[in-house]
């Protein structure tokens, strides 16, 4: 550590075995601490949008974003202008991201299923795209065209005909130019200048201007996440995605500079980001500590990074590899980086991460932008039950069933018996009506039929 460079404050720095229950909850249970207040505030905002429609949205833009909106929708001509004005190298890389996202997500579309379970009994399953979806793209103080791509490209790959993007206004009263350009590149159909819980409510219930959709996806702050949770009974949502997270599991041979870079890269997203590294090598942990102090001192987003580290940052020393990997399961990170000598083998026991990066060359930053995997992922330990955004979020599935006369006759008496047992005579009669002449009926069943 160079002279004058102080180590950044951390929520915890030390052995895993020394974690107190209170500190463990702080690091591992990463839910908002004021959920009840947040829930009530979001409930009121949703009710306002349902009651006042566009007027409520204009009022919220004035109150929360400090802009007076003349129109809620950004015309497509503005997208085209933004795309034309984009730096050619940046546009080229966004186009590269679109290609990779499209390829990876198209590969996820499941094939139709058809099989015969018994002679004369055929079943199948088919998928169909949702008719309209909403994609939330964070913004306001920063531009996130990558979030537009992550939501819109999979929806387009699934064949969704109406893809509506909502993104908060910047100082100009519109989303940043990069967001407008990304809408044009990704295949969005409409773009609205809407942010926060109001945007989610508008998409969920519709207003005179904003169309109602069948699913809402995309990352956002705690207001967006809570709003999506509250409307989930009305339509489909993706996994709750809050502030960014990373856990790096580092073997003794890992480069401490690279580990520190991964922590800073995710911490710079948000003061509420959660970042941690765990290793079973004390010398490596000391190296990470030194690198973190040096790199944080030089980052342009130092204030944001330091706040995140102090609130939910951790450097953890495990007894051995097994304890480190067990902790990664408990931590259930949005991003899990396995910087070990055999990451493929270590991957085998992982079941709770949003996405896993194998080996030191695999920086989380690549997945945030270009690899083609989706960066909209569950946070706050929700990866224990939720999956990251995929093409499946934009499809619904239905089954079909076809019985031949022979297949129906073979099932008629068995179905009748089960229907009798449940006290449903109409079911039993419908089934036995398909019994072909010569088919044997159960004497016991006949005696019990009405």
CA distance 48 to 25: 35
CA distance 163 to 220: 18
CA distance 393 to 371: 20
User: Which among 315, 323, 263 is positioned nearest to 289, based on CA atoms?
Assistant: 315
CA distance 97 to 95: 5
Q: Which of 334, 360, 393, 413 is catalytic?
A: 334
Largest CA distance in the chain: 97
Task: Please enumerate in sequence order all residues whose Cβ is within 8 A of that of 423, keeping only pairs 6 or more positions apart, or say none.
Answer: none
- The alpha carbon of 376 is separated from its chain's Cα centroid by a whole number of angstroms, namely 4
User: Which among 219, 210, 168, 208 is positioned nearest to 189, based on CA atoms?
Assistant: 210
Q: Which of 105, 269, 335, 375 is catalytic?
A: 335
Alpha-carbon distances of 384 from 135, 176, 200, 275, 347, rounded to whole Å = 24, 34, 25, 18, 15
Pairing relationship of beta strands 236-237 and 245-250 according to DSSP bridges: unpaired
Catalytic annotation present for 335: yes
Listing DSSP states for 217-281 in one string gives E----HHHHHHHHHHTTTSEE-----S-EEEEEE-TTS-HHHHHHHHHHHHTT-TT-EEEEEES-
* Residues with catalytic roles: 334-335
């Amino acid at each position: 550590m160079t002279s004058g460079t102080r180590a950044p404050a951390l929520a915890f720095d030390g052995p895993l075995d020394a974690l107190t229950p209170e500190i463990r909850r702080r690091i591992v249970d990463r839910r908002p601490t004021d959920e009840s207040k947040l829930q009530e505030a979001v409930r009121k905002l949703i009710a306002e949008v349902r009651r006042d429609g566009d007027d409520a949205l204009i009022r919220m833009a004035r109150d929360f974003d400090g802009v007076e909106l003349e129109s809620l929708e950004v015309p497509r001509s503005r997208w085209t202008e933004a795309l034309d004005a984009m730096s050619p190298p940046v546009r080229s890389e966004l186009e590269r991201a679109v290609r990779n996202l499209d390829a990876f997500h198209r590969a996820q579309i499941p094939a139709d299923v058809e099989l015969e379970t018994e002679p004369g009994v055929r079943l199948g399953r088919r998928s169909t795209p949702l008719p309209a979806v909403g994609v939330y793209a964070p913004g306001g103080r920063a531009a996130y065209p990558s979030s537009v791509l992550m939501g819109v490209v999979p929806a387009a790959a699934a064949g969704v005909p109406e893809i509506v993007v909502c993104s908060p206004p910047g100082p100009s009263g519109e989303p940043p130019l990069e967001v407008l350009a990304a809408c044009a590149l990704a295949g969005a159909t409409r773009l609205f200048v809407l942010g926060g819980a109001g945007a989610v409510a508008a998409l969920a219930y519709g207003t005179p201007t904003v169309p109602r959709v069948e699913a809402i996806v995309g990352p956002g702050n705690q207001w967006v996440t809570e709003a999506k949770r509250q409307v989930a009974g009305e339509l489909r949502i993706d996994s709750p995605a809050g502030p960014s997270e990373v856990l790096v599991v580092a073997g003794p041979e890992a480069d401490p500079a690279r580990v520190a870079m991964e922590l800073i890269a995710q911490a710079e997203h948000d003061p509420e980001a959660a970042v941690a590294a765990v290793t079973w090598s004390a010398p490596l942990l000391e190296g990470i500590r030194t690198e973190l102090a040096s790199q944080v001192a030089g980052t342009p987003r130092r204030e944001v990074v330091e706040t995140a580290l102090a609130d939910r940052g951790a450097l953890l020393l495990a007894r051995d590899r097994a304890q480190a990997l067990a902790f990664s399961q408990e931590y259930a990170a949005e991003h899990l980086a396995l910087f070990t000598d055999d990451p493929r083998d270590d991957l085998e026991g992982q079941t709770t991460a949003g996405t896993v990066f194998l080996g030191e060359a695999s920086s989380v930053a690549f997945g945030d932008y270009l690899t083609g995997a989706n960066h909209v992922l569950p946070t706050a330990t929700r990866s224990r039950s939720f999956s990251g955004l995929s093409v499946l979020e934009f499809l619904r599935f239905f089954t079909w069933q076809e019985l031949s006369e022979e297949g129906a006759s073979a099932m008629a008496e068995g179905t009748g018996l089960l229907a009798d047992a449940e006290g449903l005579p109409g079911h039993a009669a419908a089934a036995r009506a398909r019994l072909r002449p010569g088919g044997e009926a159960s004497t016991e069943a006949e005696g019990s039929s009405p």
